[in-house]
Amino acid sequence: MSFSWLTCSLLLGTLCAGYSLGEAETRECVYYNDNWRTERTNQSGFERCEGEKDKRLHCYASWLNSSGTIKLVKKGCWLDDFNCYDRQECVSMEENPQVFFCCCEGNYCNERFTHLPDMIGSGNRVKIRPPPRVPSLLNVLVYSLLPLCVLSLALLLALWMYRHRKPPYGHVDLSEDPGPAPPSPLVGLKPLQLLEIKARGRFGCVWKAQLMSKYVAVKIFPFQNKQSWQNERDIFLTPGMRHENLLRYIAAEKHGTNLETELWIITEFHERGSLTDHLKGNAISWNELCHIAETMSRGLAYLHEDIPSYKGEGPKPTIAHRDFKSKNVLLRDDLTAVIGDFGLAVRFEPGKPPGDTHGQVGTRRYMAPEVLEGAINFQRDSFLRIDMYAMGLVLWELVARCSEADGGEYMLPFEEEVGQHPSLEDLQDVVVHKKMRPVMKDCWLKHPGLSQMCETIEECWDHDAEARLSAGCVEERIGQIARTVSSTTSDGPISIVTSLTNEDLPPKESST
């Protein structure tokens, strides 16, 4: 037995030597970038490939073919991708992609690129394949002497590759249930690579991915959550859903078959992550608080609004989010808020039922009293007021981390009262029966801006749903507070331009 393993080990070294003879190691690739002016890079040249020691490196090329006219898009180094293994020539095998893509191994192997569709045509056309590689004499000798050893090594290598691979951008298939593929110029483009998991939740996980030259977010649902994926996709495809404070949609896809099916939603990517992530690691200044709060309320106000036909699009209906919380608010680099995660959202279109309006949905901690109590009036305005209760809690999270309010350690709403993992009964007792809300500290009320922000928060989470402010009113109020109360620095003195009273604040708006 020991002799057999010793023999395998010696031949493994021999095999590796044969491998290196048959496949040149990729260290440099031909580089080209058609978008070099915008991205501020070199237009062409050579690129030195770098990566982790246990990862293989490749070269790639991508191009367009418009009626026989070839337009080169990009060339360069490519990360470990099992689709590129053992390819000495850069050959695109897809029949008619929107963007042609090929990859190969070996220095400068992407200097030339070819399109050889793997198909059998009619008439005089024949089956075209890249020329087969001639195995080296050493490889033939090794495979002949120890086929069992080589097979074992191959199986171990395949298992390692399966566990460490990053799935490439697969072919789009939405022809099956649930519904047709949304029109998108980016569907089917290569290359897209999943890079790292950024978040996990009840739906699945969110990956940071690279699509051509930019980063995108890929939200992956298991097939069991098909309804949530389909609902979020349909909300994104609703006319009028493009707004600077709503997450920008790119595409939806379906990957795999049967129980291994994954459902993808591809959106823009925000490096800062969610508002929860930012507040955990950072106190915020008064001006940052106002900017985040105003843009967040602007996004929710737009979501809640009925908008008539505009620029050829159909009318945008009122949409209730139903899972509004700081984790579902993303931040751009300039701290502008962007609302995402529409898996539980519901549309209210004239003459149509709103769809699934099951009462107790969302995140328990952010549920309004009427939701916890199971006493919802299933009308449009009732669902909007549920969002506004949650908005009050998120505004409280912002105020609690403001440097003007001592910027204490980050805490979730009601974390002090019921801990980090409250049961439904815990929240019913605190929110419904005792009518408690997160604590407003005395020092907040001494700050002229924070005190007015606290008044707005209290009117958002009012126990009486009909007394709550609308999102549009919150946006106006925060804008007015920000304009009249400013801080010269995050720690500096407060400059009062005008003293506001309740009579000066914008009136409550009806959400009808």
pLDDT at position 309 is 78
∠279-244-386 over CA atoms, to 5°? 65
Cα gap 76→225, rounded to integer Å:
38
Average pLDDT over residues 460-464: 96
User: What is the 8-class DSSP label of residue 249?
Assistant: E
Exposure of 494 by Cβ count < 10 A (0-12 exposed, 13-18 middle, 19+ buried)?
middle
Q: What is the b/e burial string over 7-17, where b = at least 16 CB atoms within 10 angstroms of the residue's CB? A: ebeebeebbee
C-beta of residue 15 within 8 angstroms of C-beta of residue 142 = yes
Model pLDDT for residues 240-274, shown as the tens digit of each residue = 999 999 999 999 988 877 777 889 999 999 999 99
β-partners of residue 253 are 264
Domains annotated for the chain, with CATH where assigned, are 26-113 (2.10.60.10), 189-268 (3.30.200.20), 272-486 (1.10.510.10)
Model pLDDT for residues 91-125, shown as the tens digit of each residue = 988 877 878 889 999 999 999 998 887 543 434 43
Q: What is the 3-state secondary structure (H, E, C) of 45-82?
A: EEEECCCCCCCCCEEEEEEEEECCEEEEEEEEEECCCH
C-beta of residue 254 within 8 angstroms of C-beta of residue 181 = no
C-beta of residue 172 within 8 angstroms of C-beta of residue 188 = yes
Kindly give, in sequence order, each residue whose CB lies less than 8 Å from that of residue 157, ignoring residues fewer than 6 positions away.
none
User: For 35-49, 63-77, 126-140, which range has the lowest pLDDT when averaged over its residues?
Assistant: 126-140
pLDDT at position 262 is 87
C-beta of residue 209 within 8 angstroms of C-beta of residue 227 = no
Question: Across the chain, what does the average pLDDT equal?
Answer: 80
pLDDT category of residue 489 using cuts at 50, 70 and 90: very low
pLDDT category of residue 36 using cuts at 50, 70 and 90: confident
User: What is the 8-class DSSP label of residue 433?
Assistant: I
pLDDT at 426 over 70: yes
pLDDT category of residue 407 using cuts at 50, 70 and 90: low
Average pLDDT over residues 414-419: 92
Element (H, E) at 157: helix 147-164
Name residue 466's amino acid.
E
User: What whole-number percentage of the chain has pLDDT above 90?
Assistant: 45
pLDDT at 137 over 70: no
Cα gap 315→341, rounded to integer Å:
22
pLDDT category of residue 180 using cuts at 50, 70 and 90: very low
pLDDT at position 509 is 52
Average pLDDT over residues 271-285: 94
pLDDT at position 319 is 95
What's the token pair of residue 59?
Answer: 């070269």
C-beta of residue 70 within 8 angstroms of C-beta of residue 64 = yes
What are the catalytic residues?
323
Model pLDDT for residues 71-94, shown as the tens digit of each residue = 888 999 988 888 888 889 999 888
pLDDT at 17 over 80: no
pLDDT at 327 over 90: yes
Element (H, E) at 337: strand 337-339
User: In this predicted model, which residue has the larger pLDDT, 179 or 305?
Assistant: 305
Please confirm whether the linkage preceding 117 is cis (ω < 30° from 0): no
pLDDT category of residue 130 using cuts at 50, 70 and 90: very low
* Alpha-carbon distance values, 276 to 129, 292, 320, 398 (Å): 52, 12, 21, 10
User: For 235-239, 316-320, 507-511, which range has the lowest pLDDT when averaged over its residues?
Assistant: 507-511
pLDDT at position 136 is 54
User: For 221-230, 349-358, 402-411, which range has the lowest pLDDT when averaged over its residues?
Assistant: 349-358
Average pLDDT over residues 131-158: 66
- CA-wise closest residue to 498 among 487, 484, 486, 488: 484
pLDDT category of residue 362 using cuts at 50, 70 and 90: confident
pLDDT category of residue 183 using cuts at 50, 70 and 90: very low
Cα gap 375→27, rounded to integer Å:
66
Cα gap 185→249, rounded to integer Å:
12
Q: What is the b/e burial string over 77-106, where b = at least 16 CB atoms within 10 angstroms of the residue's CB? A: bbbbbeebeebebbbbbbeebebbbbbbbb
pLDDT at 384 over 60: yes
pLDDT at position 53 is 77
